[in-house]
A and B are shown apart, each in its own frame.
Chain A
């Protein structure tokens, strides 16, 4: 599942570099420029990816009970 997580996160980073909409002047719903709409959707996609990670690939072994005493150094 860790591998799927990394593939999804790397996909987000690659999709962020959207040279294909660089000079696209179309308006979505008549008011939202394509470049802005695309990146707003990317924000939603990022939340979806992290939701998947939280549900399926969360490192559950990290919850620990603290020992007595402070840092050594």
Chain B
């Protein structure tokens, strides 16, 4: 019951924050969707970091390190530190500038303008929505599962089918309701504030958990001694987890392409546009790799320690555990107290919700801007536009929640496939920003080839049922990115260049090649 109380207090704080942000709402469409471009460097840093880090940063990283070893940090964390900042610098700042100049709110608006075609929107829109929905479901289902596990036994008689804990469907419903409340009332400002708060929560609680677990495993007075004892146990029982002998170099390299997906996430695009100025990006670009290190190094160490840590002579985490995501929960449960367990759950929910809110708002924005208002903005007042956006956000939350009730648990395997799809579209956005010779036909070819290659590999991997599926020893994302780039360049060069008026609009003074 302690854990449940802490979770409820945390959710209550979030609702309060959302209502507070709602009081600052200026009543305009631009304020609701983009916080009137008022977000400064610190809030931008926190909201971008919170949005890119999902529950995987805490729970998944620990479980994956338990299975694979310390190589997980290089595969997923240090690569993201380099590539995410590169995306913010290379794509984010430039898109922000064009967005400010021409009034974009969504990616589809940008591509329609840049490629001088409304039809490109109809091709891109369903692909972007289709890729983001499994990502959303992942968050909704993960949050329900986490709350259920930590509240096991909280009720004496109720919910016997769910271990006398809060049922996942109820927990997901409450979490969707909380996120909806602050997104509905506060719009993008509420989302940015909540993201900043939640990012601070999961970073601080992650570090606290690390210290508590290290001290419990080590049992010495000095913290450094405890760290040494914990790692020494791994060296004795599972030395292979302290190196990367389980991972091939080709596989390691191809993982570096996964974080490229950040360059095409629709919800990050919307966050970029909230920046007050191009200079606001400096802090996120510089500090993002450090934040990743602060969150991931402790989680990877805890995951590796879990392979060998014992309590009363027995392994805390059985080697044959079926669900890797349970590793962190088990370590906290066995080595700490209910208060820390409740706080860590709040931290995990913070990581989940700081991505969910942006995705809900983004999908609502896309349906409003790219479908309802496209080409007929004059027919809707500011108030009607805001109302439409709010109604679409509500509809997206309801549909996502209902889908989460029927989606198979295998949805968790889809995460990397979503990222691969978005990464395959990144050559398109880079070409749109920096290559004058990009043509509509080249863009269409790149999108179609990306979708085709993605589908082919998805089928080959038994519809994500085979998580070890590799192509030429690498993740499919490497081939998808290569094919996407080659088709974009070849078809663009083989077709007529874009109109001069379009080029003058996007490359004033003949900048870029």
Spell out A's residues near B (CB within 8 Å): 9, 12-13, 16-19, 22-25, 27, 29-33, 35-36, 39-40, 42-44, 46-47, 50-51, 53-54, 58-60, 62-67, 69-73
B101, B256, B279: the one contacting A64 at CB < 8 Å is: B101
A32, A35, A40, A51: the one contacting B244 at CB < 8 Å is: A35
Q: Are A16 and B82 in contact (CB under 8 A)?
A: yes
Spell out B's residues near A (CB within 8 Å): 37, 70-71, 73-74, 77-79, 81-82, 85-86, 89, 93-94, 96-97, 100-104, 109-110, 112-113, 116-118, 121, 224, 227-228, 230-231, 235, 239, 242-245, 249, 252-253, 256, 277-279, 282, 285-290, 292-293, 297, 300-301, 304, 374-375, 377
Q: A12-B82, A33-B231 are in contact. Are A71 and B109 (CB under 8 A)?
A: yes
Q: Are A30 and B289 in contact (CB under 8 A)?
A: no
| Residues from chain B with Cβ under 8 Å of A64 in the complex | 97, 100-101
Q: Are B101 and A58 in contact (CB under 8 A)?
A: no
The interface centre, meaning the residue of A16, A32, A51, A71 with most chain B CB atoms within 10 A of its CB, is: A71
Q: A16-B78, A17-B253, A27-B231 are in contact. Are A46 and B85 (CB under 8 A)?
A: yes
CB distance from B305 to the nearest CB of A (A): 10
Give the distance in Å from the alpha carbon of A19 to the alpha carbon of B103 in the complex.
46
Q: Are B243 and A25 in contact (CB under 8 A)?
A: yes
| Residues from chain B with Cβ under 8 Å of A63 in the complex | 97, 277-279
The chain A residue with its CB closest to the CB of B300 is: A36
Q: Are A43 and B81 in contact (CB under 8 A)?
A: yes
The chain B residue with its CB closest to the CB of A68 is: B103
CB distance from A57 to the nearest CB of B (A): 9
Please list 10 pairs of residues, one from A and one from B, whose beta carbons are closer than 8 Å in the complex, sorted by A's number: A16-B74, A24-B243, A25-B242, A40-B73, A42-B78, A42-B81, A46-B289, A58-B278, A70-B103, A73-B116
| Residues from chain B with Cβ under 8 Å of A65 in the complex | 100
| Residues from chain B with Cβ under 8 Å of A73 in the complex | 109, 112-113, 116-118, 121, 374-375
Q: Are B104 and A17 in contact (CB under 8 A)?
A: no
CB distance from A28 to the nearest CB of B (A): 10
| Residues from chain B with Cβ under 8 Å of A25 in the complex | 235, 239, 242-243
